[in-house]
Amino acid sequence: MGQPVTLITGSRKGIGRHLVEHLCGEGHAVIGCSRGESGFQHPGYDHHVADVADEAEVRKIFSAVRKQHGRLDNLINNAGIASMNHSLLTPVSTVRKILETNVIGSFLFCREAAKLMKKNKYGRIVNFTTVAVPLKLDGEAAYVASKAAVEGLTNVLAREFADYGITVNAVGPVPIETDLIRAVPEQKIAELVKRQAIRRLGTLSDVVNVVDFYLRRESDFITGQCLYLGGV
Amino acid sequence: MQQEIVELILQTAGEIAEEEEWEIKNFEADTVLYGENGVLDSMGLVSLVIAVEQAIEDQFGKAVGLADEKAMSQSKSPYRSADTLAAYAASEMQDA
């Protein structure tokens, strides 16, 4: 296998941006996408501006990957949005937006990635869930529902794609200093951290470590798994 | 155009049959692909449809989905033969 080809969604900032920099540094050809332009420049990096829930835009990204690289080895489905709000105060438009980005976006990318990976009988897909699912975090009903759906997708797609040599796993980070939790009150974060076995905020390196593990060629017997950080 | 797509489908089917070691190696335009008396199982059909989508994009520069709700809900399945699949693909390409 030559240079690994890796697609990362939600790559403009936060965990996604960190993963882009890390994997470019590891010699991957990285394709990123987000709703806005990326400030990151690297000879091994291509950025696409797209809405991950827009089927036509997603297909275009995969066409470009197929034309440029002829294959895809890794997909990191990092794009996600959250909303911290009591369900009684959550507009349905917010629920729709969360489900579209987190569930439909993940599904579309898994589907199109598997079409490309299938040919080489090799692929690694990493989806993103959250500890808010097992912790049943109140105030995040729509977000938790969307990520529970992502876990469901991970479990079923792991089985559907196994014959093609594609593994599908998920990582569930604890709160990390990113835009996603900036709006969450400090006290809420402290309460959440208290429920972890290891009581600290997560770091970007904690997430990278799990992603690297899933992406390893030797991880070919690991699929349909959901790994939560912090001992949740 | 439709005849070109039929030929593309037949060529693609032959290539996948080779790659995936299907029992059937040679396809005709009216070979029953899927359904009653079809030569492909559901996984075989998945492989064929994906490969045909990619081949159409490569040859005609148009991204078409041949496995959408519209295809699934046709009263006459587009997956019956290379002929019917080509007819469906041609109509999708016009809309694309």
For chain A, domains (ranges, CATH) are 5-226 (3.40.50.720)
Helix (H) or strand (E) holding B93: helix B82-95
CA-nearest residue to B46 within chain A is A115
The model's pLDDT over A154-190, given as tens digits with 9 standing for 90+, comes to 999 999 999 999 999 999 999 987 766 777 788 888 8
Q: CB distance A63–B63 less than 8 Å?
A: yes
- Determine the residue type at B60: F
Q: Report whether A28 contacts A70 (CB < 8 A).
A: no
Q: Which of A54, A57, A65, A115 is the best substitution to test chain B (most B C-beta atoms within 10 A)?
A: A115
Interface of B with A (CB under 8 A): 43, 47, 50, 53-54, 57, 63, 65
Q: CB distance A118–B54 less than 8 Å?
A: no
CA angle (A71, A2, A44) in 5-degree steps: 75
DSSP string, A121-141: T-EEEEEE--TTTTTT-TT-H
Q: How far is A115 from chain B (nearest CA, A)?
A: 7
The model's pLDDT over A91-144, given as tens digits with 9 standing for 90+, comes to 999 999 999 999 999 999 999 999 999 999 999 999 999 999 999 999 999 999
The predicted structure's pLDDT at residue B1 = 82
The predicted structure's pLDDT at residue A189 = 87
Q: Which of A24, A129, A21 is nearest to A77 (CA)?
A: A129
Domain membership of residue B64 as a residue range? 2-95
Rounded to 10 degrees, what is the CA torsion of A67, A70, A71, A72? -30
Per-residue DSSP letter, A202: B
Q: List chain B pLDDT tens, one digit each, 96 residues.
A: 889 999 999 999 999 999 888 989 889 999 999 988 999 998 999 999 999 999 999 999 988 889 877 777 777 889 999 999 999 999 999 887
On the question of pLDDT at A2 being above 70, the answer is yes
Q: What percent of chain A has pLDDT over 90?
A: 89
Long-range contacts of A67-70 (CB under 8 A, 24+ apart): A69/A5, A69/A29
Q: Which residues in chain A are closer than 8 Å to B47, comparing Cβ atoms? A: 118
Q: How many domains would you assign to chain B?
A: 1
CATH code of the domain covering residue B68 = 1.10.1200.10
pTM for the model stands at 0.92
Q: Which residues in chain B are closer than 8 Å to A163, comparing Cβ atoms? A: 43
The predicted structure's pLDDT at residue A64 = 95
Query: Which candidate from A56, A115, A163 shows the least CB-CB separation from B50?
Result: A115
On the question of pLDDT at A1 being above 70, the answer is no
The predicted structure's pLDDT at residue A188 = 84
